[in-house]
Amino acid sequence: MPIPSPFHERTRALCTSYRWKDWAGYAAVCSYDTSHDREYFAFRESAGLLDVSPLYKYEIHGPDAAALLSRMVVRDVGKLEIGRVAYVCWCDDRGKVVDDGTIARLGEDSFRMTAADPTYHWLLAVGRGLRATVEDSSARLAALALQGPRSRAILGEATGADLDGLKYFRITRARLDGLEVWVSRTGYTGDLGYEVWVERDGALAVWDALVAAGRRHGLEPAGLDALDVARIEAGYLLLGVDYYSAPKVVLESRKSTPDELGLGWMVDLERGPFVGRAAIAAERARPPAWSFVGLEVSWQALEALYESYGLPPALPATARRDGLPVYAGETQVGKATSHTWSPILKKYLVLATVEASRAARGTVLELEHTVEFERRRVAATVVATPFFDPERKRRP
């Protein structure tokens, strides 16, 4: 049975739809209303407030903290400046991805890491013999994501701080309603947005302060359904949906290398050893087998398909995670793992893993689509991700 998050008292009162789901053992809101529409548009037009406390969080301290993390993840964390955040992934010894998350450098010898899966044991194992302590702060810290074009104004009013100096992927301390908090310019919506980290006891005060400041800006509490649409538009991967954690699967074919997930850019082989380095280096000798791509379904083809049944085109109202085969001619060349109708782009978007030889932009493939219990196909073109990438996301 999922347990309540530190914000539960507030979220429960607002969740009139009773639509909840289990996220890392916590009860998390899918959508506050019966439809996630309003919450989605809050992310894109004003600001959405999302409880992200269930994220796994770890504090790594000590003179060897940087060394520990550098040894664990594919990026060189030693180079990370204080006050910066890095998006990272980490691999097993065979160079297959275990998980992805962020690392924030809070001080010279102090880091905070987030992960989708429990990672405490992994940190301990990698850090054996190093002068670093690892604390699982998952339960101690509450976290809120405030995402959307008005998030800066809201957070600025709530903290009294000038956030214009806080660049994309930076973190800073701030005071909110008399409480000490951390504010990072990060998120999972691909929009201008921040995440606020606070001690569990201060959770409700922070929620109330943000809601109060947000009232004039159209802030809406938002749930995971709206987030799922936004993150697909942003082209972000989701563990357990778009790829699987290597130690958790039996079949070799379910595992992925960073290159296959489009995370090759963060791999730094020209430095000291890290977990999986040799395997990744060996893998790079030959071209990768798979490629993670964005597909855009042809609406004309979809409309024509439905028209042949005498129906108007219909898509599920929420983002979907049911895997669908992707074809080139009669051959299956991959799988679609996340798909959604994008209300802002007015397109049907798909995240898929396809054979690397089919991954060139502009390649036309086919996606399975079921109409009236019959399996049919529609044309889908490989396009660049992020599908949606507003300038405000990075703007200083």
Partner 1 sequence: MSAATATGARSRYDAVVVGAGHNGLVCAAYLARAGRKVLVLERRHLVGGATITEEIHPGFRFSCCSYVVSLLRPWIIRDLELPRHGYEVLPLDSTFTPFPDGRYLLRDADPERTRRAIAAFSPRDAEVYKQFGQRMAELGRLVKPLVDGVAPDPTSLAPRELARLARLGRGLAGRGEEWLVGLVKMMTMSAVDFLAEWFECEELIAPMSVSGIIGTFLGVRSPGTAYVLLHHYMGEIDGSYRAWGLPRGGTGAVAEAIASSARALGVEIRTGAPVARIQVTGGRATGVVLENGDEIGARVVVSGADPHRTFLGLVGAEHLEPDFARQVRRFKMRGSSGKVNLALDGLPEFACLPGRGAHLTGDITIAPSVEYLERAYDDAKYGDFSRRPFLDIVIPSLTDPTVAPPGGHVMSIFVQYAPYHLKSGAADWEHQREAFGDAVIRTLEEYMPGLERRILHRQVLSPWDLERIYGLTEGNIFHGELSLEQLAFLRPVAGWSRYRTPVRDLWMCASGTHPGGGIMGAPGALCARALLAARAV
Q: Is 341 in the site for partner 1 (CB under 8 A)?
A: yes
What DSSP string describes 236-278?
A: ---BTTTB--GGG-S-GGG---TTTTT-GGG---SSS--TTHH
CB 382 within 8 A of CB 298: no
Q: Is 381 in the site for partner 1 (CB under 8 A)?
A: no
Q: Compare residues 160 and 273 and give the one whose CB is closer to partner 1.
A: 160
Q: Does 389 bind partner 1 (CB under 8 A)?
A: no
Task: Dump strand ranges (E) for 53-203.
Answer: 56-61, 85-91, 97-107, 110-115, 133-136, 141-147, 171-176, 179-184, 193-199
Please, which of residues 158-217 interact with partner 1 by CB under 8 A? 216-217
- Closest-CA residue to 150 (of 215, 79, 196, 53): 215
For Cα atoms 26, 28, 30, give the angle at the middle one, nearest 5 degrees.
Answer: 155
Should residue 312 be labelled a site residue for partner 1 when binding is judged by CB under 8 A? yes
- Does 3 bind partner 1 (CB under 8 A)? Our answer is no
Of the candidate spans 40-48, 119-127, 135-143, 181-189, the one that interacts with partner 1 by CB under 8 A turns out to be 40-48
Is 315 one of the binding residues for partner 1 (CB under 8 A)? yes
Closest CA to 52 of 254, 208, 188, 168: 188
The one segment of 57-65, 148-156, 203-211, 269-277 that binds partner 1 by CB under 8 A: 148-156
Closest CB to partner 1 among 68 and 349?
A: 349
Burial class of residue 13 in the structure, from the number of CB atoms within 10 Å of its CB (0-12 exposed, 13-18 middle, 19+ buried): exposed
Site string for partner 1, 283-302 (x = CB under 8 A): ----------------xx--
What six digits make up the tokens of 143? 């976290």
Angle, CA of 139, 144 and 150, to the nearest 5°: 175
Size of the site for partner 1 (CB under 8 A): 28
- From residue 363, how far is each of 301, 330, 379 by CA, in Å? 16, 15, 10
> Is 153 a residue that touches partner 1 (CB under 8 A)?
yes
Near partner 1 by CB under 8 A, which window of 78-86, 181-189, 321-329, 345-353?
345-353
Task: Choose, by CB under 8 A, the member of 3, 21, 343, 370 that binds partner 1.
Answer: 343
Q: What is the CA radius of gyration of the chain?
A: 21
Q: Give 83 or 313: the residue with its C-beta nearer to partner 1.
A: 313
Judged by CB, which is closer to partner 1: 317, or 328?
317
Stretch that binds partner 1, among 116-124, 128-136, 309-317, 377-385 (CB under 8 A): 309-317
C-alpha–C-alpha distance, residues 243 and 337, integer Å: 8
Q: Considering the complex, what minimum distance in angstroms separates the CB of residue 218 from partner 1?
A: 4
Q: Is 361 in the site for partner 1 (CB under 8 A)?
A: no
Task: Note the residues at the interface with partner 1 (CB under 8 A).
Answer: 33-35, 37-38, 41, 44-46, 149-150, 153, 216-218, 299-300, 303, 312-315, 341, 343-347
